[in-house]
Amino acid sequence: MRSYPIVAPLSRPGDLLIMDYLTLHQSGCNTSQRSRWSMQLRYFNFREPNGVALGWPASVTAGTDIEALFPGSFASVDDASRV
């Protein structure tokens, strides 16, 4: 059973995406001949209770095992075939 929907928004130049800091996300492969540019702004409170309870974990690119950090929050390949 999935608690949250999986979405795949398609963005265009000039679009703005706003996500909660616990949103698991990634971009797709850049298949164009041009570089992909993005700008990120992060605004948050270091005293926010959920972040403090999690110890403000690093990102996947820093080597954090997200599945270990949030056990039970991921669907397996078998689960995906039932969707």
Q: What is the pLDDT of residues 30-54, one digit of tens each?
A: 888 988 888 777 777 778 887 788 7
69 within 8 A of 54, measured Cβ to Cβ: yes
Compute the CA torsion angle 30, 33, 34, 39 (nearest 10 deg): 0
Q: 3-state DSSP call for residue 49?
A: helix
CA atoms within 13 A of residue 45's CA, in its CB half-sphere: 4
Q: How far apart are CA 38 and CA 13, in angstroms?
A: 9
Average the pLDDT over 24-28 and give the result.
78
Please say if the pLDDT value at position 64 is more than 70. Answer: yes
For the chain, percent of residues with pLDDT exceeding 70: 86
